[in-house]
Amino acid sequence: MSSMTEDLKKVATGTRSIVQARSISKVFRRDSFEVTALDKVNLDIAEGEFLALMGPSGSGKTSLLNMIAAIDQPTSGELLVLGENVFRFGDKEIARWRNEHIGYVFQTFNLIPVLTAFENVELPLLLTRLTRSERRDHVMTALKLVGLEDRVDHLPKQLSGGQEQRVAIARAIATDPTIILADEPTGDLDSHSATEVLEILKRLNHDHHKTIVMVTHDPHAAAYAHSTRDLEKGMLLPV
């Protein structure tokens, strides 16, 4: 297993792949039943790529995304993200790593209802060593990028769904992470808001060189990505 990790690290250095999955499987056990969410998936994601993961419900898209974010662990196989096997880390290290390198956008926005747009975006920055004014600069930059600099004092309930998702994207990019993971980011939005969100993701990838992995089952959304990979019954279909 360790030699496999070494090999993957060498590949990572050579090709600038920032996600390398080798034969990763995920099996959920519920009582006496076993459900295979991912079945020996091999995947490389290069730095700066905008990848869409498609597939029907239950095909394992979100499970794969969660593993890249180190919020779930494969049952078997090897996964390196930014050249690291993060599952070796302890709670504090893995939390810090996630804060520094991962920006996660959820389908249901997951904004804190008692915090304003500004404060929601500031939340991950509270864990950094940035000063108050530096945090403010980061937040305002992120909110400008998503076109919400005039909504800083608005609570989530005072925003439309599309605006909420843009705040969520601003929160995801506030720490300037290497990878943005978006799980059905347009799933709860109307077509106009969905287009706005997809344009923002495209701009983040194109102008700011963020690596983006987006889970979607919407071909229109997938069209914004450089490449698309399909999952079915936990298996990654050939390109």
Partner 1 sequence: MNLPSFIAKNAFRNKRRSLLTVLSISFSLLLLTMLISIWRGFYLDEPSPDAALRIITRHRVSLAFMMPIFYREKIRAIPGVLQVVPMNWFGGKYKDDKPENMFAQFGTDPEEVFKVHRDWKVEPEQLAAWQRDRAGAAVERKLADKHLWKLGDRIVLIGNIYAVNAELTVRAIFDADEAWQALLFNQTYVEEAVPYAKGRAGIFAMLVDSPDAVARISGQIDEMFKNAPQPTKTESEKAFQLGFVAMLGNVKAFILSIGLAVVFAILLVSANTMAMSIRERTREVALLKTLGFTRGSILSMFVGESVMLAVFGGLLGAFCARWLLSAAASSPAMGGFLAGAKVTAPTLIVSLLVAALVGLLSAFVPSYHASKLKIVDGLRHIG
Among 4, 112, 223, 237, binds partner 1 (CB under 8 A): 112
- Interacting residue with partner 1 among 13, 42, 76, 110 (CB under 8 A): 110
Q: Answer yes or no whether residue 84 interacts with partner 1 by CB under 8 A.
A: no
Helix (H) / strand (E) containing 66: helix 61-68
Question: 74, 76, 17: which is closest to 48 by C-alpha?
Answer: 17
Residue 89 within binding range of partner 1, rule CB under 8 A? no
Is position 113 an interface residue for partner 1 (rule: CB under 8 A)? Answer: yes
User: What separation in angstroms does the CA of 113 have from each of 35, 116, 120, 228?
Assistant: 35, 8, 9, 34
Question: Residues 41, 104, 211, 225: which binds partner 1 (CB under 8 A)?
Answer: 104
Q: Does 31 bind partner 1 (CB under 8 A)?
A: no
Strands lying side by side in the sheet with 179-183:
102-105, 179-183, 211-215, 50-54, 227-232, 235-236
Closest approach, Cβ 118 to partner 1, in A, equals 8
Instruction: Tell me the β-bridge partners of 81.
Output: 19, 84
Structure tokens belonging to residue 174: 């506030």
User: Scanning residues 159 to 188, which ones bind partner 1 (CB under 8 A)?
Assistant: 171, 175
- The answer to whether residue 35 forms part of the interface with partner 1 (CB under 8 A) is no
Q: Which is nearer to partner 1, 46 or 115 (CB)?
A: 115
Rounded distance between C-alpha atoms, residue 37 and residue 33, angstroms: 13
Residues lying near partner 1 in the complex (CB under 8 A) = 66, 69, 71-72, 91-92, 95-96, 98-100, 102, 104, 106, 110, 112-115, 118-119, 122-124, 126-127, 132, 171, 175
